[in-house]
Amino acid sequence: MFRRTFWFTAGAAAGVWATTKVNRKLKQLTPESLAARTADKAVEAGHRLKDFALDIKSGMAQREAELNDVLGIDGSEPRELPAQRRLVALDTTSQQYTQQHTKQQHTKHSYDRNEDH
Residue by residue, pLDDT tens for the chain (117 residues) are 889 999 999 999 999 999 999 999 998 889 898 999 999 999 999 999 999 999 999 999 999 999 988 888 876 777 677 777 766 556 666 666 666 656 555 555 555 666 665
**End-to-end Cα distance, the chain:** 110
Nearest-5° Cα angle at 25, 19 to 27: 100
Global pTM value:
0.44
Alpha helix positions (H), the chain: 2-28, 31-71, 85-103
